[in-house]
């Protein structure tokens, strides 16, 4: 599954959809594929403050454990409870129903474009 061109990305294989002052965050299909079958997702609490580049959650698969990093400074506005209940959504629909958190932010850091992210993963 190719990464959508209308999103922004991080070098940690997260995608970001910006809507006003809210960033919806998930992991890319590339990251989900490398992790393998996701069996557990731990997300931060709604209302918690997050800092760009800091670990805010964990994604466990049958092969390994991956960390979820905050791509922005802000406050967690919403978490995807469906992913916590059904972690396999991260694999089956990483750019849709498999989103992880929504963060309200005041300033957006420099993120990667589709082209820049594609170059990192060799697509």
- For residue range 50-79, what is the model confidence (pLDDT) as tens digits? 999 999 999 999 989 999 999 999 999 999
Report the b/e string of 33-54 with b at 16+ CB within 10 A.
eebeebeebebbeeeeebebee
d(CA 70, CA 66): 13
**Residues 94, 24 contacting (CB under 8 angstroms):** no
d(CA 36, CA 34): 6
Tokens of 44: 């931060």
Domain range annotation of the chain = 17-106
What is the overall mean pLDDT for the chain? 94
3.40.30.10, 2.40.50.100, 2.40.50.140, 1.10.10.10: CATH of 17-106: 2.40.50.100
pTM of model > 0.85:
yes
pLDDT given for residue 1 in this prediction: 60
pLDDT given for residue 75 in this prediction: 98
Tokens of 45: 């609490």
């Amino acid at each position: 599954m190719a990464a959508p061109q209308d999103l922004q990305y991080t070098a940690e294989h997260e995608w970001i959809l910006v809507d006003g002052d809210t960033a919806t965050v998930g992991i890319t299909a590339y990251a989900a594929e490398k992790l393998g079958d996701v069996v557990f997702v731990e997300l931060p609490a709604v209302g918690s403050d997050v800092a760009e580049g800091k670990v805010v959650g964990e994604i466990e698969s049958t092969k390994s454990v991956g960390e979820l990093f905050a791509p922005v400074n802000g406050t967690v506005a919403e978490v995807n409870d469906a992913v916590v209940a059904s972690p396999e959504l991260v694999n089956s629909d990483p750019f849709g129903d498999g989103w992880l958190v929504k963060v309200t932010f005041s300033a957006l850091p420099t993120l990667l474009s589709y082209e820049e992210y594609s170059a990192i993963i060799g697509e």
